[in-house]
Amino acid sequence: MKKLLAIMVLCLCFATTSQADDIRDFQIEGISVGDSLLDYFSKKKIKKAERYDNTNSNYKSDKFFSIRLKNIGKYTEMMFSIKKNDESFKTYSVQGLIKHENNISECYKKIDKISDEIESLFIKAKKTKQDHAHTGDKTGKSKLTTINFTLSSGDRISIQCYDWTKKMKYWDNLRVGIYTKEFTDWLNR
């Protein structure tokens, strides 16, 4: 009986040490922050991608920009944030978006399921949840639900449901994102 108890305790110790504590342990379609987009896409495809920077987004400076690529794996779109003039195209954020047009209730079911999975992987992460009006809709009728997992490094995993009004002409979506502390600090300044 003592041997069985000792084996169970050892198994629990090894299971705990296998929990993720580095943001790079989390991937979306096999891509994580710190990876070069050149490992997954051609330079031509990256350069032709739809680009968001300080000229057409809420970014306050041009240190970073984001690109959007459509139909990657199970995602309707993926977004990647990289530094300006970085020819290695190293990622500082990776986001996967799944369209939920006319069925936002499915998004809310998925956000809770994904949250449980992330919580089991990043057991030491600080979890926060927020529901609020989306600032992009001046009427205040579009809603955003966000669950963030912040690691001790300051890196973050975020799951979001975007519930847009028809007037906004955007599609409702589920977003799963990985963000380095460096990118998040720049974004929030």
* Cβ–Cβ under 8 Å, residues 38 and 59: no
User: DSSP secondary-structure letter at 45?
Assistant: H
Residues 83-140 have pLDDT tens digits of: 999 999 999 999 999 998 778 899 999 999 999 999 999 999 999 999 999 988 899 9
Phi and psi, residue 111, nearest 5°: -60, -40
Phi and psi, residue 187, nearest 5°: -65, -35
pLDDT at 188 over 90: no
Compare 59 and 79 and report the one with higher pLDDT. 79
Query: Both tokens of residue 171?
Result: 């599609």
**pTM over 0.75, yes/no:** yes
pLDDT at 12 over 50: no
Indicate the pLDDT class of residue 4, thresholds 50, 70 and 90: very low
Cα distances (Å, whole numbers) of residue 124 to 18, 64, 86, 119, 150:
12, 29, 33, 8, 9
**Mean pLDDT (whole number) for 137-149:** 94
**Mean pLDDT (whole number) for 66-72:** 93
pLDDT at 17 over 90: no
Residues 23-59 have pLDDT tens digits of: 888 999 999 999 999 999 999 999 999 998 878 777 7
Structure-derived torsion over alpha carbons of residues 51, 57, 61, 65, reported in degrees to the nearest 10? -20
Question: 29 in helix, strand or coil?
Answer: coil
Indicate the pLDDT class of residue 19, thresholds 50, 70 and 90: low
Token pair 């629990």 is found at 12
H or E, element range at 52: strand 50-52
